[in-house]
Every structure is written in C-alpha cells, then in structure tokens.
Amino acid sequence: MIFIPGWLISIFTFPGVIIHEWSHKKFCDWTGVKVNKVVYFRFGNPAGYVLHDKPTTYKQTFYISAGPLFLNSVLTLIFGYLASQTYIDSGLYFIFLWIAISAGMHAFPSDHDGKNIVTESKNSLKEGGTFIHYLAYPFYWILWIANKLRFFWFDLVYAIMLVYAVGGLQ
C-alpha cells in the first residue's frame, strides 16, 4: 500500500476540497443557516472549512453535514460524463476527469459531520422524533468506515466507480 500524506493529496485534489466546502456552504444557504466564514482551500488540516451558526433543526444539521456526499457525488457524475463526451487525447478530457475524481474523493463528510448528525438525531428522538432519526446511526457508521478506509484509497475507488458509471473512463 502506497502511503501519501493527506496534505499532498489535498493539493492534487484541491478542486474536490473546494467543492466539498462549497457544498457545506450551499446547504447552509438553502436551509437558512447563517455562514460566518468560509475557507475553500488552505494548506493545513483541515484543508478547508465552513463556520456557521448552530442549526436549529435536525433537517438543517443533516443537509449541511451530508451536503458534500450529495453535491460532490453529483458533480463527479457530471464531470465524468463531460469527460466521456470529449476526445481522450484532448486536454479537456483530462481536466474534466481530474475535477470528477477530485470531487468524488472528497464526497464523504468528515467524522465530525457524522457526529453532528447523530447528536442532533439523539436530541430529536428525545423530543419525539420519528423513525428517520434512527437512520442516522447506520449512516454515521457508513461514513466512519468510509473515512477509515481512505487509508486504503476507498475514496479514490468511490470516485473511479462513479466516473466509470457514466462512461468517463475511456
């Protein structure tokens, strides 16, 4: 197994980091949670972040935390498809492919985001939440496992599978 430091991966896949943070911000905007500061990319850990007011509902917490899984995955599919529509020997093909794979590699929310969902789910269940709140637990464990499997390049495998699904790898 080849070990490459996370900061180096972030540099090479910076479009995915930017899209990940943009996804958090967009879901803040769409759910009405005030954003106080956004850093789309920086050298360091974390490579980017969004500081926002505390969400007041479970729905806000879920969408803000899980936003990158949705938007990064959709953009991976879109850019993968765009790559499939260009000539393999063109520079545009490689740009679309790079953005697609970068976005896919940064699709998974952090463990911290997953914990936010579980914490808010617990609070909602105390106040008479529904069955949907119980789904936060397996969702958190899936995120946690996906994040641990990054050591084995699971994030790259996920990105490649999405790109492959739309014919982006020729």
CB 156 within 8 A of CB 71: no
DSSP H or E run through 52: strand 49-52
Mean pLDDT value across residues 6-33: 92
Which of 58, 31, 67 shows the shortest CA–CA distance to 121? 58
What per-residue confidence (pLDDT) applies to 106?
Answer: 95
Mean pLDDT value across residues 77-86: 96
**Which residue did the predictor score with more confidence, 126 or 55?**
55
pLDDT digits (tens, 9 = 90+) for 97-146: 999 999 999 999 999 999 999 999 988 888 887 778 888 999 999 999 99
Pull the structure tokens for residue 27: 């879901």
Does the pLDDT at position 71 exceed 70? Answer: yes
What per-residue confidence (pLDDT) applies to 69?
Answer: 97
What per-residue confidence (pLDDT) applies to 103?
Answer: 97
Question: What type of residue is 41?
Answer: F
Pull the structure tokens for residue 84: 């499939």
How many Cβ atoms are within 10 Å of 22's Cβ, its own excluded?
A: 19
CB 74 within 8 A of CB 99: no
Give percent above pLDDT 90 in the chain: 75
